[in-house]
Amino acid sequence: MKPGKILAVSIFGYLIYIGFQLFVMFNPNSPERLRNAQENIPSATEQRADNLWAYYLINADNPLPADFTVGLDKVQGNYMLDERCAGYARQMIADAAKDGIELTVVSAYRSVQKQQENLESYTQRLISLGHSSTEARKLAEKEIALPYTSEHNAGLALDILTPDWWETHDDVTADFENTEQFRWLTENAHKYGFIMRYPKEYENVTGIIYEPWHYRFVGVFYAGEIKESGLPLEYFYKTHF
């Protein structure tokens, strides 16, 4: 083969390689990106990982036991979390305030009964908007987990908004991502053991819509590792239990 053709083939091959790498970089669901991220999750030891009691999955496939109980402590106002992580949340809120950012908790621990009431209420709201009962239920379950499958039932999750949110909104919506509160949480929540639990790119994995306002306690060590990996808890947990 002539030198010119060799050079052309080499350049073409290089461009294909670059194109593949860009695809992996900007496609969060690509198997290659997931494999690379999973392979680079460092191993933890009990000496390095804090709050191992909080490191577990709660979802439709991993419900809480029927006899689950939790000790609670206040975080803000009348909102409470598991007493073992409530202090982390209080410190996060206090440190945000020092930076001029007011984090307003709008939901935390919810009893199983309250979870059921919320699900039924939202289903009825969707029906009133014209959805069939079957369709309304399916849509509702994408936003409100079934009883025993919500992280709120375990006292491990906070919903956080701006203090003036309800002045311009009648619901919790994804445009929370445009607030300074969200930007602060994105940069700092992991330092207090919290992760933004339901990322935009992984709705098909978590089974829950994108919720930039929902933060779940997993401990400082794992929160940092999960943030660094870019993976949702479902994927991270599978590779690092």
pLDDT on residue 38: 46
Which one of 211, 225, 228, 234 is the catalytic residue?
A: 211
Q: pTM for this one?
A: 0.77
pLDDT on residue 32: 58
Nearest one of 233, 199, 228 to 41, comparing CA atoms: 228
Within 10 A of 22 (CB to CB), how many other CB atoms are there? Answer: 10
Catalytic residue list contains 180: no
Residues 159, 216 contacting (CB under 8 angstroms): no
pLDDT on residue 7: 47
pLDDT on residue 138: 87
Q: Is the dihedral of CA 155, 83, 80, 86 positive or negative?
A: negative
Residues 51, 84 contacting (CB under 8 angstroms): yes
β-partners of residue 214 are 159
Q: Tokens 């689950």: give the residue.
A: 68
pLDDT on residue 143: 80
pLDDT on residue 18: 55
Fill in the amino acid letter for 80.
Answer: M
Q: For residue 56, report the phi and psi dihedrals to the nearest 5 degrees.
A: -160, 160
The burial of 168, by beta-carbon neighbours within 10 Å (0-12 exposed, 13-18 middle, 19 or more buried), is given as: exposed
Residues 237, 57 contacting (CB under 8 angstroms): yes
DSSP characters for 140-199?
A: HHHHSPPTTS-TTTTT-EEEEE-TTHHHH-SS--GGGGGSHHHHHHHHHGGGGTEEEEE-
pLDDT on residue 119: 86
Query: Per-residue confidence of the chain (241 residues) as pLDDT tens digits?
Result: 555 544 444 555 555 555 545 544 444 445 555 455 445 544 555 568 999 999 999 999 999 999 999 999 999 999 999 999 999 999 999 999 999 999 999 999 999 888 889 889 989 999 999 999 999 888 888 888 889 999 999 999 999 999 999 999 999 999 999 999 999 999 999 999 999 999 999 999 999 999 999 999 999 999 999 999 999 999 999 988 7
Report how far residue 14's alpha carbon sits from residue 17's, in angstroms, rounded to the nearest whole number. 5
- Residue 78 CA, distance from chain mean position: 23
β-partners of residue 74 are 80
